[in-house]
Amino acid sequence: MKYIIVDLEATCWENKDQKKINEVIEIGAVCINENKEIESEFNEFIKPVVNPELSKFCTELTSITQKNVDAAETFDKVIERFKSWININENFVLCSWGFYDQRQFIADCNLHKTDAAWLKKHISLKHQYAEIKKLNRPIGMAGALKMEKLYLEGTHHRGIDDAKNIAKIFLKNFKEWKI
């Protein structure tokens, strides 16, 4: 079994404009094996097609620049590399902090007319963490890191950095997750 700890960043706007479609602009992921070893990492920017210009809010939140996404390929090409990196024909589960990443992946797969069936193998570490720690409600990744006495490393709201931080929580509670 491979555990793919994934975090997405997507286009966003300060007023959460409901008329605008969010699109993935970064996939950050860490692959952990059954022996609790980090095997590899995946990190790529993606060029949005519906709203190709990043908002000032999005750039400030994520630190992802217009130059980063302009130099990137579109979702349909990057997602094929991501699926190949995972090797979706092997036994794996996608793990993210909440259900947002799975929903956003599905939305982008639909937008780009690519298969989304592989996204069924997913768990929300955020919700399981709340159960494991007997919390009244799920908490954010930064709060979970504090509870675990771990440090947030890198830039919060950057896919690869958040994936690495989530991986630390995942590894510390390795035997507790329900797959």
Running DSSP on this structure, what letter comes out for residue 121?
S
- Is residue 127 part of the annotated active site? The answer reads no
Is 9 catalytic? The answer is yes
How many angstroms separate the CA atoms of 71 and 101, rounded?
A: 23
How far is residue 20's CA from residue 59's CA, in Å, rounded to a whole number? 16
**Candidates 9, 23, 26, 44; catalytic one:** 9
Domains plus CATH for the chain? 2-176 (3.30.420.10)
DSSP 60: H
Whether 172 and 15 have beta carbons less than 8 Å apart is answered as no
The confidence band for 17, taking pLDDT boundaries of 50, 70 and 90, is: low
Read off the pLDDT of residues 20-70 as tens digits, 9 standing for 90 and up: 899 999 999 999 999 999 999 999 999 999 999 999 999 999 999 999 999
pTM: 0.96
